[in-house]
Structure 1
Amino acid sequence: MRGIYIHIPFCHQICHYCDFNKVFFKNQPVDEYIESIGAELSIMVKEGVSFEGVETVFLGGGTPTSLSENQLDRLLTIIHEYVDVNSLKEFSTEANPDELTYGKLEVLKDGGVNRLSIGVQSFDSDLLTKIGRTHGPDDANRVVDEARKVGFENISIDLIYGLPGQTISQWQDTLNKATALELPHYSGYSLIVEPKTVFYNLMNKGKLPLPGEDIETEMFAMLMDHMEMQGRMRYEISNFAIPGHESIHNLIYWENDTYAGVGAGAHGYLDGIRYSNSGPIAQYMEKTKQNVRPISQTHIVTETEAMEEEMFLGLRKVDGVSISSFQKKFGRSLEDVYGQTLQSLIGTGLIEQKMDRVKLTRTGVFRGNEAFQKFLK
């Protein structure tokens, strides 16, 4: 196991585009839930799961920074009981700008967290209101400044393009203001309208004025070009970093490697099995009280599925898929398994082979889903 993902499902505000497992913070058993995290980790250890040598811990949500200082401190104390935090390569948490106070930053830093992933999304006040965010551009600037004062150097912010009513000039302004912060890492994602969200309901009513596909494609090109000009190199379709500041935890996913998922609705991949925990908080907590793993679903990954995942996850990386590593991992050559598919995609200009690696071309980056689907049987 290389990483641990811990899910904190609480939010003070639900964003209009979010479909993750989350609930409003008010009247929730937050303290009891944190103890359930510890119970789940304890159960895993008793069942023989080892956290020795883990490279990363990632706190996601929901919103981990919706917790109070005391709650964050308790959560981090529990994590220390099961993980040698000092040996981690990376300890990250997601954060909202308006909830990440100076006091919480100090708690996180003292608890071993060394990387912040801040959900800024936009530097346009009107757009932030439209998408259900409760912070403003000034909050983003403040929290970055305070994080640096506390001692955080590895800071990333998330941005979203293709938002309702968003213009090219608004996106360029957000890119300018984001990179003016001179952070080591940036993520830029296109808006995906997911079922069971406010945006999905509005779209079905014809009340969601999304930019067209051509404009969204232009915004993606702007993102790539702007980040490269600022020395933030793209290492995955949507992620950019100064070399050496790539997200190690996310690379575990894209390298199709193993990680534990802890918390309500969390997903994990261990010993060739993908699993998901119970999503409802009460159900999750009840199972941990009964001293059983709160797993709701499991799937044994077949060799064919593992090879498919190796390709469509690995091709998300700029470095692509290593031909020799594929051979070593599966005992079969990439040419033997996907030779015809590779030649077809090379012929259409979506991928290229350079030395030991197969990777997307620039055209392929824009048409990534089309290339990925070719590896699915």
Structure 2
Amino acid sequence: MGGITSLTRMWLTRSVNPFLFRNEWDPQLPFAGCSQLGLYIHIPFCRQICHFCPYCKVLYEKERCERYVDALLEEIDLVGRQAEGKKQVTSLYFGGGTPALVADRLGEILSRTERYFTITQGIGVELHPENVTPPVLEALKEAGVTKLSIGVQSFRPKFQSVLGRSAVDGAELARALAAVPFETVSMDFIFALPGQTFEDLRSDIDAAFALGANHVAIYPFIDFTFTDSRVPAMPNGEKRRLLDRITAYCLGKGYVRTSIWTFSSRKGAVYSSMTRTNFLGFGCSAATLLEEQFKINTFSVEAYCQRLAAGQLPTALTLRFSRRQRMVYYLFWAAYGTRVDPREFEAFFGEKLEKQYGLELKLAQALGYLEVRDGTYVMTPKGAFTYHYYENFYTLSYIDKMWGILRKEAFPGEIRL
């Protein structure tokens, strides 16, 4: 598995050099000139820990959470005041963990953020189904939230049991969403669970749209080595058939495909905290992607708070991109949105996409992975599954290794990927 990702990396970067993450932090972040800049804020607290979840999270304790939010405000100050005037950004997404656990301070966090940034395309928050109640939704809306992502995972009891999740009351969910409407209501589901069929997924998707969602995300189950999950992986052939059928079903219903895993019932209903050209991340484990570097914060809540109490940014690791590495990273996440626009690539890098990767693009078209529509490279269903296949390798070879180390060491010395 690591061999496949290493060979692909060497081919696309035209170099044998790995991605080298070092224990370095910079007091100044060069984001002022970045276009299409997004923001992400991580809230790591949960009432209970889901065994399948790989993200940075800890059990909720009120005093610890309050200290964390205080440190988060300090991080926003340290970064935000580096730019002259207010920097325009596309969006702000809160992830976790369970961001609703800081609902009473969300207005304060947003007020601090908007002191330095002008958000143009909305604010999104991830929610556990149990938090989808009128009081919580009203508090979020009053704070300025415009988009919700609800982590349902499955409405079906047999898969809730597999995932260790409690039943979701669909009627209560629908009542709350109808009482407090939002611009985008997304519901997340996991596919490729053992024994899962097309009918199971179709039922979940139909239920989501019937209950008030206008966007669904259908993420593949990935067995991270550091989680406590014992869910067996679905064979690739079965996974391919399942993804193809659910894609055909959604497109047949007239839904808009907004990324590899996401579909919306109307144009403009979008929820994605990942597909941005540049972004600043705040909070434990949050990543920052800029034109020439990638940074990731410490996963330790205590180390995070201590670092900020000393007036320093909580960066655990920094990757200084070579130009080709940055191109590969750009193309990986552009492809996640199922299309790559050569004009946008040229605007970002000042070079033509076909000059850099013409051979690869021709090969992908010949193999049936891509087709050209109005000057844009668009993924076919075959290409989408191949992307999923490689993303799975990438996740287990790169992300699994990095996150596994960061869960044990607050500030590791160096990681080569």
Q: TM-score range by the shorter chain?
A: 0.7 to 0.9
Match of 2:240 among 182, 202, 217: 217
Q: Tell me, yes or no, if the aligned pair for 2:294 and 2:321 is still in contact at 8 Å.
A: yes
Gaps of 5+ in 2: 1-33, 394-417
How many Å separate the matches in 1 of 2:132 and 2:209? 20
Per-residue displacement from partner, 1:320-368 (whole Å, max 9, x unpaired)? Answer: 1122332333233222211222222222122223342122222111212
What is aligned with 1:275?
Answer: 295
- Structure 2 SS opposite 1:198: coil
**Is 1:117 the equivalent of 2:149?**
yes
Relative to structure 1, the CA distance from residue 51 to residue 143 in structure 2 (aligned partners, 3 Å threshold; closer, same or farther) is: farther
Match of 1:152 among 174, 182, 193: 182
The alignment's TM-score, normalised by the length of structure 1, stands at 0.86
What is aligned with 2:73?
Answer: 38
Match of 1:245 among 239, 254, 268: 268
Per-residue displacement from partner, 1:8-39 (whole Å, max 9, x unpaired)? Answer: 00111222211111111147600111111110
Match of 2:366 among 342, 347, 351: 347
Higher relative contact order (CA 8 A, sep 6+): 2
How many Å separate the matches in 2 of 1:249 and 1:211? 26
How many Å separate the matches in 2 of 1:28 and 1:17? 27
Gaps of 5+ in 1: 203-207
Per-residue displacement from partner, 1:99-130 (whole Å, max 9, x unpaired)? Answer: 23321111101000011000011111231122
Relative to structure 1, the CA distance from residue 17 to residue 341 in structure 2 (aligned partners, 3 Å threshold; closer, same or farther) is: same
What is aligned with 2:375?
Answer: 356
- Structure 2 SS opposite 1:137: coil
What is aligned with 2:135?
Answer: 103
Q: Tell me, yes or no, if the aligned pair for 2:85 and 2:116 is still in contact at 8 Å.
A: no
- Structure 1 SS opposite 2:248: helix
Shift of 1:224: 1.3
Of all paired residues, the percent bearing the same amino acid is: 26
Relative to structure 1, the CA distance from residue 158 to residue 358 in structure 2 (aligned partners, 3 Å threshold; closer, same or farther) is: same
Shift of 1:285: 0.4
Instruction: State the superposition RMSD in angstroms.
Output: 2.5
Aligned length: 358
Relative to structure 1, the CA distance from residue 211 to residue 157 in structure 2 (aligned partners, 3 Å threshold; closer, same or farther) is: same
What is aligned with 1:205?
Answer: none
What is aligned with 2:275?
Answer: 254
Relative to structure 1, the CA distance from residue 301 to residue 151 in structure 2 (aligned partners, 3 Å threshold; closer, same or farther) is: same
What is aligned with 1:324?
Answer: 343
**Is 1:365 the equivalent of 2:377?**
no
- Structure 2 SS opposite 1:151: coil
Q: Tell me, yes or no, if the aligned pair for 1:90 and 1:249 is still in contact at 8 Å.
A: no
Shift of 1:249: 4.7
- Structure 2 SS opposite 1:315: helix
Relative to structure 1, the CA distance from residue 180 to residue 243 in structure 2 (aligned partners, 3 Å threshold; closer, same or farther) is: closer
What is aligned with 1:23?
Answer: 58
**Paired amino acid for 1:70:** D
What is aligned with 2:193?
Answer: 163
What is aligned with 2:407?
Answer: none
What is aligned with 2:168?
Answer: 137
What is aligned with 1:192?
Answer: 222
Per-residue displacement from partner, 1:257-289 (whole Å, max 9, x unpaired)? Answer: 111100011101134221111110000001111
How many Å separate the matches in 2 of 1:166 and 1:212? 12
Shift of 1:240: 0.8
- Structure 1 SS opposite 2:130: coil
Shift of 1:83: 4.0
Match of 2:285 among 245, 249, 265: 265
Q: Tell me, yes or no, if the aligned pair for 2:184 and 2:270 is still in contact at 8 Å.
A: no
How many Å separate the matches in 1 of 2:58 and 2:111? 24
The alignment's TM-score, normalised by the length of structure 2, stands at 0.79
